[in-house]
Structure 1
Amino acid sequence: MSDESKSFRCQSGFSSPPCYAAEVAPDYFDPLATDPAQARDVARWRKVERTRLRDARLAMPVTERKETDAALAGHLRQVLQDRFDGARGMVFSAYWPIKGEPDLRPLMTELHEDGVTVALPLVEAKAAPLTFRRWTPETRMVRGDWNIPVPPPDAHVVTPDIALAPLIGWTPDGYRLGYGGGYFDRTLAELTPNPFAIGIGIKTAQLAIIYPQPHDIRLDLILTEAGVMFGRVSD
């Protein structure tokens, strides 16, 4: 990451996606954990796993990446149809892909055209829940911290009914290995009512366990290119 990219800030302050928190604070751990030494050990292990899984994801061939993205989009579209009647009239929080994450932007456009309010999450204040700004295909994105596109400060702020949670790793019991900043967990813990949280990842990023800490929140659903890995499509 270049110094120029790190130094860029848009006019809204700390406006940025949560994805690089672990690089800003690589020794991040939750002080609310019952055993600080154990929490530090878990944080170190997670840092190693993040690097391993992220490198593997970045190494995926372009053709395989496109096939994975298309399969994930198809499964997600079906989940939204089966559980939420397509999510029409609802607020759906997606994400802007970085570092090899599945690219669901074509689906974002489709959902917008079908009457879904699409939003993107970003950090407005450090150590605080995420803010969600509305996105449309016509939105003129601005550069947030780390040069990542985000909706502009005048975009409408919304509260999601459904929220995608990008992940680096996932477990069969519904936990995600995120980027280390705790923003998604903090947001899921504080939003009322809670959005339906869907973890989006790739099948090969499965972990046996992430050693859940007090701040970790189990997702409602985990979805990969192979389909639903955790959770139920319908009640």
Structure 2
Amino acid sequence: MTQPNSPEHSANVNVDQTRKVLRKELLARRRQTPAEIRQQWDQLLMSSLLTWCEQHRTSSVGVYWPIHAEPDLRACYSPMTQMGIQLALPWVVEKNAPLRFLAWQEGDSMTRDDYGIPLPAQREYLIVPEVLLIPCVGFTSQGYRLGYGGGYYDRTLALHTECHAVGIAYHSALSEFDRGVHDIRMHEILTEQELLEFN
């Protein structure tokens, strides 16, 4: 644990401030991208994702409900279910804690969480997905992700090291930034242009 006013603490504060500014810039860039362009990118992303699922034959995937102009993959969730893949949506149970994942498929009864994001109404059928699709505000060429700053996915991956992490982003989110002390590298990052793989 770093001590207040130590060089390490000051460095971490500087990294956090720089990432905060970059996060704001990247979110503004994504929102300003015309909707029709993002829809074209989404189609390319979904095509690549379905191909990836066919090749890897995973049994369960943690998906997400898009917010803040994130890549919208919802049109391929039903085809994924038809492949025999169990889907799950992330549940923020409490702050500063790992996510939990509620089993879900299209047509299930839904409510909204404290952030206004749709969530399965049931709270009993929890799973740990083999694969997590993790939306990125930004990402580096080394496979590190910039999220919204809550640390939920990093805590989840630290707890469930068996999960295969696939970052989802538009290629325009590629940036260079210093990794945070708790950042966990993605196994792969999928954009509308390419699939990046990391050891």
TM-score (normalised: structure 2):
0.93
Contact 2:53 2:80 in 1 (8 A): no
Q: 1:3: which partner in 2?
A: none
Structure 2 Cα separation of the partners of residues 74 and 177 of structure 1: 24
Q: CA deviation at 1:155?
A: 4.9
Structure 1 Cα separation of the partners of residues 141 and 82 of structure 2: 33
Q: Does 1:204 align with 2:172?
A: yes
Structure 2 Cα separation of the partners of residues 31 and 123 of structure 1: 27
Q: 1:67: which partner in 2?
A: 40
Contact 1:173 1:230 in 2 (8 A): no
Bigger fraction of residues in strand: 2
- Aligned length in residues: 197
Q: 2:136: which partner in 1?
A: 167
Structure 1 Cα separation of the partners of residues 106 and 60 of structure 2: 15
Q: Over the residues paired in the alignment, what is the CA RMSD in angstroms?
A: 1.9
Q: CA deviation at 1:153?
A: 3.7
Q: Does 1:112 align with 2:72?
A: no
Work out the percentage of aligned pairs sharing the same amino acid: 36
TM-score (normalised: structure 1):
0.79
Any idea what SS the aligned residue of 2:126 has?
A: coil
Q: 1:148-191 CA distances to partner (integer Å, 9 max, x unpaired)?
A: 11112435101110001111001111100111011101100011
Q: CA deviation at 1:31?
A: 6.4
Q: CA deviation at 1:81?
A: 2.0
Runs of 4+ residues over 4 Å off in structure 1: 30-34
The correspondence for 1:40, drawn from 13, 19, 30, is 13
> What are structure 2's unaligned runs of at least 5 residues?
none
Structure 1 Cα separation of the partners of residues 139 and 120 of structure 2: 28
Q: 1:176: which partner in 2?
A: 145
Structure 2 Cα separation of the partners of residues 155 and 178 of structure 1: 28
Q: CA deviation at 1:114?
A: 1.8
Higher relative contact order (CA 8 A, sep 6+): 1
Q: CA deviation at 1:146?
A: 2.3
